Structure 1
Amino acid sequence: MNILDDIKLQYKVGGIANRLIYWNVGCFLVSLVLFYNYKLGGFDFPSLVALSTNPVDFLVKPWTFLTYAFFHDGFWHLVFNMMVLHFSSRLFLTFFTQKQYLGLYFLSAVFAGICFVGGYYFLNLTASIVGASAAIMAILVAVTTYQPLMNVRLLLMGNVKLWHITAVILILDLMQFRIENMGGHISHLAGAFLGFLYVKLLQNGTDLSVAMSTIIDFFTNLFGKSSKTPFKKVHKNYTKAGKPVSKPVSKIITKDRNQQQIDEILDKISQSGYDSLTKDEKEFLFKAGK
């Protein structure tokens, strides 16, 4: 199995958090080709993907309230965000579903984008923004609101409370609020607020991510492959009176050997991670996914 096949397999079995990381990395690679100015040594994102505070731009291109959250202005910007995303995603998905995770990610990106545009409008400033930080802050603050006293083991530091980690990140944002990248910090704090609000409303029976999940499902079903059920020939036994006799249907579902092996490998991934698989197991899972 080559590296490309290995990446494809990890994308298939890694879950929605891994896929989001792949999407962010993929968008960064695309931006290196299309939007990087090698003469000036920096990115020049067009209003087609970056969220601009110019009303002409965001009104004509409303999708930028979402696309900006998949592009990053530099390698280290991407690396730090993906590290925090990976960390917070693992914790969030311990308590919540993948639909809630994706719904909150998209919803917080849109909400933070609106706050950024609104804040700069009242300050009479014009700027544009890219980065997944706001959506990541929402995920991190949401799980912290739900389980603030959870112990998290950090390298060289040992066990610390989850709320300590989140508090440090938020304090750093507040300290830099008026120094640089004010628009970025506005969106970060907006994402953090939505993450807190999301969990509080969820505990009272209101799931804000449902509307976003419904929209995602609509487009997934719209562009996804429709599963066609092949025609089946049905045999019926009839009594002398001509009435059909229904045969009892077994409720026991028997897994074939391949499916059982797939389930065992997926259980191993969930317990020990993808890297714990042997070369043969990776190849078997890749062939089974084709």
Structure 2
Amino acid sequence: MQYKFGGLAQRLIYWNVACFLVSLFFYDFAVGAFRFPNWIALSSDPLVFITNPWTLLSYAFFHDGFGHIFFNMIILNFSCTLFLTFFTQKQLLGLYVLSAIFAGMAFVAGYYFLNLSASIVGASAAIMAVLVATTTYSPLMNVRLLLIGNVKLWHITLVIVVIDLMQIRIENTGGHIAHLAGAFFGFLYIKFLENGTDWSKIVSNVSDFFVNLFTKSSSTPLKTVHKNYKKPETKSTSRIVVKDKTQQQIDEILDKISRSGYDCLSQEEKEFLFKAGK
């Protein structure tokens, strides 16, 4: 029920946890560490990366240990909750996916020029993008923290970014490069959005294409039934057509709720559904 009606933030957490459970099959008890194959982890080796391009996204759903995923999911839930205060679930999905790809490319490019070789997993870069995007849009938002009290959102984000900058040459250099790249993408996303360009529509259009591809056949008979009701030049026909169009819009809204949850509706759709239910 939480997965079905909890919204995209809940689903992202479930997807990450499910991938972590799968990753347990790659745990090497002899060395006490995960050994992710090249078709899951993002490798900085150009030859490996080119033959496994999907790893630009798959790496953002796997984690190297319980502590890694535990803290990432806490920050993901926190960041998504704030982000959805201002934006839609489709924008959240688009930002998560595109920032993961951008950060992955930054990691590969950075290690290539540094002449280093490694592989990474983790949702941290995408999470940083969501957090920084929200901060860029509303930096003065008050956030209440346990034992600390109210602080500004930009204070929290600044601390996290500074920690990444301080550790970039100490350990996990590739991971910190990806984190900072994700943060930069989140900043750019909001700036372009404020100028009327929504990059998340790239992901939305792709996902809508596949959704419509599988639902097209089921919607065709409904259109045929509507055509059978049409009788030109009579008042009764006019009333039936209006009724059918209203019902069709209600069905489309209900179908949208079943796919993405009630929160994905626009204010206009919510008002229409409320009036139709009277």
Whether TM-score is above 0.5 comes out as: yes
Matched, 1:245 2:234: yes
Deviation of 1:196 after TM superposition, in Å, equals 0.6
1:139 aligned to which of 126, 130, 136: 130
How many residue pairs end up in the alignment?
247
Deviation of 1:234 after TM superposition, in Å, equals 3.2
Deviation of 1:210 after TM superposition, in Å, equals 1.7
User: CA, structure 1 residues 162+226, in 2 after alignment: closer, same or farther (shift >3 Å)?
Assistant: farther
Who is 2:145 aligned against?
154
Q: Which amino acid aligns with 1:22?
A: Y
2:180 aligned to which of 177, 180, 189: 189
Matched, 1:228 2:222: no
Q: Distance in 2 between matches of 1:50 and 1:143?
A: 28
2:14 aligned to which of 22, 32, 54: 22
TM-score by length of 2: 0.82
- The structure whose residues are more often helix, as a share, is 2
Who is 1:88 aligned against?
79
Deviation of 1:225 after TM superposition, in Å, equals 7.5
When structure 1 is superposed on structure 2, of 226-235 and 160-169 the one drifting more is 226-235
- For 1:158-177, list aligned pairs within 5 A: 158-177=149-168
- For 1:6-155, list aligned pairs within 5 A: 9-32=1-24, 34-155=25-146
- For 1:203-282, list aligned pairs within 5 A: 203-222=194-213, 226-230=217-221, 231-232=224-225, 234=228, 244-247=233-236, 248-249=238-239
Q: Which has the larger Rg?
A: 1
TM-score by length of 1: 0.78
Instruction: Give the fraction of aligned pairs with identical amino acids, expressed as a percent.
Output: 65
Q: Which amino acid aligns with 2:228?
A: V
Query: Could you say what secondary structure the match of 2:209 adopts?
Result: helix
Deviations 1:94-124 (A, max 9, x none): 1011111100100000000000000000011
Query: Could you say what secondary structure the match of 2:151 adopts?
Result: strand
Deviation of 1:213 after TM superposition, in Å, equals 2.2
Q: Which amino acid aligns with 1:88?
A: S
Higher relative contact order (CA 8 A, sep 6+): 2
Q: Which amino acid aligns with 2:204?
A: S
Misfit runs of 4+, over 4 Å: 222-226, 250-255
Who is 1:240 aligned against?
none
CA RMSD of aligned residues (A): 2.5
Do 1:198 and 1:208's aligned partners in 2 also have CA atoms closer than 8 Å? yes
Do 1:236 and 1:244's aligned partners in 2 also have CA atoms closer than 8 Å? no
User: CA, structure 1 residues 39+98, in 2 after alignment: closer, same or farther (shift >3 Å)?
Assistant: same
